[in-house]
Amino acid sequence: MNVMGFDSHCHLQDPAFDEDREAVYSRAFSQSLGLLVPGYDMKSSAQAVLLADSHEALWALAGVHPHDAKTFSNADQQQLKNWARQEGVVGIGEIGLDYHYMNSPKEIQKEVFQAQAKLARELDLPVSVHSREAEDDTWAILRELPGIRGVLHCFTGSKEFAEKLLDLGFYLSFAGPVSFKNAHELREIVAWAPMDRILIETDSPYLSPVPWRGQRNEPLRVVRVAEVVAAQKNFSTKQVFDDTTSNIKHVFRV
Ligand SMILES: [Zn+2]
């Protein structure tokens, strides 16, 4: 299949799609959208790998989200390695730090983020990073891993953080929040960021863009994110899909 664009981060394995997962997938597939489906714990990573096995234009990432860092074991680390060798698994994620909810203690979050990021580098795979209220520590961990590549998913941070990530060679992935009424600063970052470092995503089932804010999100709505990015850049939506597709191919090697 010739992919026309990508949703670089959607959780199609989420229970929110249990009733109609194949229909949601088909709506995206019929518009020639490729999907990257990251895990957030071991179970959802296993489900992502299975989805990649059985669906065209769908790739998986495996990893443990900071919320569940406290459950991460050596056996999990080994299982991530095993998945990483499978066809259709293109990265480690989502991993990172979340000091907003603090569902796992800070020190454990840092350790588990670091362990998985190191593993990704060892395997020569990109990472999909979640960072909430943890910009300094996220950067501190990534900068100590020269050669690591990846994306900061659902970027909603400061311009300083964006600059530091770009310096490290990272990509910024924008999601539904770019369409929110009060997101002026975020849209300025979209306008400013170099087009060869931008990805787009939905983070489905979360963060539906306007005008569907508050509803369950789905991969097809990445079109809306592309439209907002296009407006900020004075590009056509097609150009945004073309550019972000070549960026995805570069960083995830799909
Ligand atoms: Zn996510």
Q: Where are the domains of the chain?
A: 5-252
Residues in the 5 Å CB sphere of ion ligand 1: 203
Centroid of ligand 1 to alpha carbon of 222 (angstroms): 14
Q: Give the span between the Cα atoms of 162 and 192, in whole angstroms.
A: 10
Tell me the CA distances in angstroms from 68 to 6, 93, 155, one per residue in order: 27, 13, 21
Which residues of the chain fall below pLDDT 70? 1
Confidence at residue 2, expressed as pLDDT on a 0 to 100 scale:
79
- Residue 188 host element (H or E): helix 184-192
Compute the distance from residue 109 Cα to the ligand 1 centre, in Å.
16
Query: Measured in angstroms, how far is the CA atom of residue 174 from the centroid of ligand 1?
Result: 12
Q: Is the pTM of this model over 0.85?
A: yes
**Residue 236 alpha carbon to ligand 1 centre in Å:** 27
Give residue 52's pLDDT. 97
3-state secondary structure of 68: helix
Query: 153 C-alpha to center of ligand 1: Å?
Result: 7
Per-residue pLDDT at 1: 66
What is the CA(154)–ligand 1 centre distance, in A? 8
Please work out, in degrees rounded to the nearest 5, the angle formed at the alpha carbon of residue 218 by the alpha carbons of 253 and 42.
60
Angle between helices 222-233 and 237-252 (to 10 degrees): 110
> Could you read off the pLDDT of 68-110 as tens digits, one per residue?
999 999 999 999 999 999 999 999 999 999 999 888 899 999 9
What pLDDT does residue 51 have? Answer: 98
Class of domain 5-252: alpha beta
